Amino acid sequence: MGTKLWVCLAALLGGSGVVLGALGAHALNHLEPTLLANWDTAVRFQFFHALALVGVGVLSRSGFSSRWLTASGFLFLAGVLLFCSALYALALGAPRGVAALAPVGGAGLVLAWLAMGVAALRSQ
């Protein structure tokens, strides 16, 4: 995967994180504090991992490019989508069963960081 793709995906995650953060702050302030805290956690994780995807893009251009780094990028993307989407949905009243997606996404994020580390260790 190319640098442009990872940075473009990171930009989409970052931009949508701004929109979702503003939505939470201005339009969802009627939610119970626990649900609003879940929303805020999702926004925070989305932003952190958008930056991680920028890192994948930058590293893919600087000699770290490998299957491990590509796997890291896909795991970051999948992890954010599963983890954050589950928290957003729960805050908006989705059935409790949706909560099962959060740990799967969280595991994806952990694996993404580990894959990035392996990519670094295996780089020239």
Question: pLDDT of the chain along its 124 residues, tens only?
Answer: 688 999 999 999 999 999 999 999 999 989 999 999 999 999 999 999 999 999 999 999 887 778 999 999 999 999 999 999 999 999 999 999 999 999 999 999 999 999 999 999 988 7
Q: What is the pLDDT of residue 64?
A: 76
HEC profile for 48-109? HHHHHHHHHHHHHCCCCCCHHHHHHHHHHHHHHHHHHHHHHHHHCCCCHHHHHHHHHHHHHH
| pLDDT at site 12 | 98
Q: Which residues of 34-68 are buried (b: 16+ CB within 10 A; e: fewer)?
A: ebbebbbbbbebbbebbebbbbbbebbeeebbbeb
Res 101: pLDDT: 97
Residues comprising the chain, all counted: 124
What pLDDT does 65 receive? 73
pLDDT at 1: 63
Element containing residue 121 per DSSP (H, E): helix 101-122
C-alpha dist (Å) from residue 70 to 103, 107, 112: 22, 17, 10
- What does the domain layout of the chain look like in residue ranges? 3-122
